């Protein structure tokens, strides 16, 4: 299992910067601002497994645990850099699901909204499909880079996690 931990920097705790435009002070767009949450510790991400999927396009099922969460995060922000494409063309999680702590069942499907806030606190286990995964490159998460372990056979507890090609 590969894990990354990172301590929040003092710059992460600073108030949002602002920019001067047309003589007015305006906050930067939300995507460019420093996060509003003040973490003493940044959540830890652990890749539990990477499992090959039989599909028309190269695809893997990725299972990970995010520890020390204090609220929901954008699972769609998980990606992997592809130097041959602009960031807008990088792959994103597909058919993501929040799993039970043991990983043997689905608790919630974020496609239907964030769900109960309690689902996003403490340790959160999730799984998703990712196309064109480069096993030599780390995943990029909202909490830092995470190296990928070698792929292994999918465990029986994830047998019901069925891949359906995107339309």
**Rounded to 5°, angle at Cα 153 from 108 and 75:** 30
Mean pLDDT of 137-145: 94
CATH architecture under which domain 2-6+37-157 falls:
Sandwich (2.60)
pLDDT tens-digit profile of 45-104?
999 999 999 999 999 999 999 999 888 888 889 999 999 999 999 999 999 999 999 999
Give the span between the Cα atoms of 147 and 84, in whole angstroms: 20
Contacts of 106-112 with C-beta under 8 Å, sequence gap 24+, read 110/75
Q: For the chain, first and last CA: distance in Å?
A: 32
Q: What is the CA radius of gyration of the chain?
A: 17
The pTM (predicted TM-score) of the whole model is: 0.74
pLDDT tens-digit profile of 96-117?
999 999 999 998 887 777 778 8
The rounded percent of the chain whose pLDDT value lies above 90 is 53
What is the residue-wise DSSP string for the chain?
-EEE--BPPGGGGSPPPEEEETTEEEEPPGGGSPPSS--SBPPEEEEEEEEEE-SSS-EEEEEEEEEEEES---GGG-B---TTS-GGGS---EEEEEE-TTSSSEEE-GGG----GGGGEEEEEEEEEEET--TTS-EEETTEEEPPPPP-PPPGGGTT-------
Contact call for residues 127 and 108 (beta carbons, < 8 A)? no
Joined tokens for residue 152: 């292994």
Q: Dihedral sign, CA of 15, 19, 20, 26?
A: negative
* Domain range list for the chain: 2-6+37-157
């Amino acid at each position: 299992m590969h894990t990354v931990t990172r301590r929040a920097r003092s710059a992460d705790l600073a108030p949002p910067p602002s920019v001067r435009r047309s003589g007015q002070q305006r906050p930067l767009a939300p995507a460019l601002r420093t996060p509003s949450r003040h973490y003493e510790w940044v959540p830890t991400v652990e890749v539990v497994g990477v499992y090959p999927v039989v599909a028309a396009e190269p695809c893997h099922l990725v299972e990970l645990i995010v520890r020390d969460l204090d609220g929901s995060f954008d699972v769609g922000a998980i990606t992997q850099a592809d130097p041959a494409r602009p960031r807008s063309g990088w792959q994103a999680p597909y058919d993501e699901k929040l799993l039970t702590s043991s990983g043997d069942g689905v608790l919630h499907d974020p496609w239907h909204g964030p769900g109960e806030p309690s689902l996003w606190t403490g340790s959160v286990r999730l799984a998703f499909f990712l196309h064109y995964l480069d096993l030599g490159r780390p995943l990029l998460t909202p909490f830092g880079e995470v190296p990928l372990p070698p792929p292994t056979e999918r465990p029986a507890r994830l047998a019901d996690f069925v891949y359906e090609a995107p339309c």
